[in-house]
Amino acid sequence: MKEIANLLGYRESVKVLDATIRDGGLVNNFFFDDKLVKALYQTNIKAGVDYMEVGYKASKEMFDVKKFGKWKFCDDDDIVDVIGEKDPRVKLAVMADVGRCDYKNDIQERANSPLDCIRVATYVNTMPAALDMIEDAKKKGYEVTCNIMAISTAQETDVKTALEMLGHSSVDVIYVVDSFGSLYPEQIARICDLYMEYGNKYGKQIGMHAHNNQQLAFANTIEAVGDGVNWLDATYAGMGRGAGNCSMENLISFLRNPKFNLYPVIDFIQKYMMPLKEKGEKWGYDLQYLMTGVLNQHPRTAIAFTKDGRTDYTEFYHEIVAQD
C-alpha cells in the first residue's frame, strides 16, 4: 500500500505539463485563435504550470499546411509572434513524431529557438529512429522526453527492451502513455513500477500521459504520482483526441504544492474552453470512447462515429467487436 504522504504531501520534483494545444489540436486540426494561445500561456504562468506544449513539429511535405493550423508545425517565428516575451517560469515544448517530422532541419539549435523541450513520440518498434531523434535534440541543447505510445498493445518484453535502450540514451524523461485509455490504476501501478525501475537504474525521470476513454485519466495520473512519477501531463477541460486527457483543473486541485493556483485555470476554462464547446468542438468521455477503451483499440473508429453524428451505439459495438 502506498504511503499516504505520497498523496497528501507534495514533492517539489513534480512537474506539470500543459498539452492542451498539442493534444487538443487533434480535435480542431490545430486551428486555435492566437488570442487563446496567448491567454493560455499567461494562464499557465499564473497557475504554476511548468511546461506548455505548443503543438507538433510536423513535416510540411507530409502534411498540407492549408488543412492544419500553425500549431501542427510550430514554426519558431509563429511561436515568438504569439507568445511574445517568454517568462522563465514556463518552458515551451513541442512533440515530434517518429516518421512524421523533418527534425534535422525543422528543429533549430536551442540557442536560436523559443523552445526548451522536445518530446519524441514513438512506438516500441520504431525505437531506433526515436533514439536518433533524441540524440539530435540533445546535441542541439534541448531537454528531451520520450513518449512510448500504445504500450497497452505491446509485449512486456518489448517494452523492457525499449526502456533499456532509452536508459542508455541521452533522454531526460520517459513517459508512460495510455494511448487508448484502456488501462486501470492497478495496471498503471505495475507499469510505473517497471518504468521507475529503469528510471532509477539509469537516472531518468518518469512521466504520465493518460487518456480518458474509461473516465480514468485523472485516477491513473494520481496513481502514477503515488508511484513516484514526477512529470504529469494534463489539458484544460480535458481537451484532447477523442475522450480527451487528464483535466488540468482536476490535477491542479489535487496537487498540494502551494505554487499551483486553481483560480486562473477555472477562469481560462470559462472564458475560452467553454466557448469552444459551444461552437461545436467535441471531445471528452462518451459511450463510443468507452467501448474502444474497453476493447483496447485505437479510438479512430469512435472519432469517426462522433464526427458522423451517429447514435447507434449497439451497432457500433458490434462493428468494433468484429474488428477485435
Residue 202 phi/psi, 5-degree rounding, is -110, 5
Q: Residue 216 contacts by C-beta under 8 Å, 6 or more apart in sequence? A: 181, 183, 184, 185, 210
Given the DSSP bridges, would you call strands 173-178 and 117-122 parallel, antiparallel or unpaired? unpaired
Name the β-bridge partners of 18: 52, 234
Q: Is the pLDDT of residue 323 over 90?
A: no
Give the separation between CA 12 and CA 275, rounded to whole angstroms: 34
Q: Is the pLDDT of residue 311 over 80?
A: yes
Rounded mean pLDDT of 26-43?
98
Q: Is the pLDDT of residue 171 over 70?
A: yes
State the pLDDT at residue 7: 56
**pLDDT tens across 209-238, in order?**
999 999 999 999 999 999 999 999 999 999
Cell numbers standing for residue 104: 534535422
Average pLDDT, the chain: 96
* C-alpha 11 chain-centroid distance: 21
Name the β-bridge partners of 205: 173
State the pLDDT at residue 12: 85
Give the separation between CA 205 and CA 198, rounded to whole angstroms: 10
**pLDDT tens across 238-253, in order?**
999 999 999 999 999 9
Q: Is the pLDDT of residue 3 over 80?
A: no
Give the separation between CA 33 and CA 144, rounded to whole angstroms: 28
Q: Is the pLDDT of residue 8 over 90?
A: no
Give the separation between CA 172 and CA 6, rounded to whole angstroms: 23
Give the separation between CA 243 and CA 288, rounded to whole angstroms: 9
Q: Is the pLDDT of residue 126 over 70?
A: yes
- The answer to whether 238 touches 217, Cβ cutoff 8 Å, is yes
| Residue count of the chain | 324
Share of the chain above pLDDT 70, in %: 97
Cell numbers standing for residue 166: 532509452
Cell numbers standing for residue 58: 510536423
Q: Which one-letter DSSP state was computed for residue 71?
A: G
Rounded mean pLDDT of 66-86?
97
State the pLDDT at residue 256: 83
- The answer to whether 94 touches 115, Cβ cutoff 8 Å, is yes
